[in-house]
Amino acid sequence: MTRTLVLGGTRSGKSRYAEDLMPADVPVRYLATARRRADDAEWTARLEAHRVRRPAGWVTVEEPDVSAIVTAGGGPLLVDDLATWLTNVLDDAGAWEGGADIGPSTTALVDAVASAPGEVVLVSAEVGLGVVPATRSGRLFRDELGALNAALAAVCDEVLLLVAGLPVRLK
């Protein structure tokens, strides 16, 4: 069993790299964290591009409770991506303007990954290399995702950073 965290910036190749890490000879569960939005054709096209790139034998799971899916096991699992998952957690908690505690959700995810019964590959954005966001919500997202990535890196067996399509092994 391995737990791998693949980090990278926008268009760094992190999703494709993570997909290539998955075994070719067994069914893979692909946990898509993005929510579909009927009013956004561009977003729908992005989701579709990811879907058609995946092998036909993969099973796409669209379930917001990532921790439960990780804990349940059931063969190799690719979670793409945690930045989108975190955005949904922040949305659902009403945390953008302050006051909401998302700690239980992020802790549950880290605990699930730490005790995952099978192979798990996680994809997440690296947002700590840029400027300090000008808005409170931007800073909240950057800080929460940075903390989540660090906590996951601590419990993963492998951690990679994709830069310009090239993997850099961090752990």
The string of DSSP codes covering 123-150 is EEE--TTSPPPSSHHHHHHHHHHHHHHH
What is the spatial distance between Cα 27 and Cα 35, in angstroms, rounded to a whole number?
Answer: 23
Tell how many helices (H) and how many strands (E) occur in the chain: 6, 7
Q: Classify residue 56 as exposed, middle or buried by CB count within 10 Å of its CB (0-12, 13-18, 19+).
A: exposed
95: alpha, beta or left, given left = phi > 0 and alpha = psi -120 to 50?
alpha
Contact 160, 17 (CB under 8 A): yes
Q: Note if 50 is an active site residue.
A: yes
Task: Find the catalytic residue in 16, 50, 54, 142.
Answer: 50
Active site positions, annotated? 50
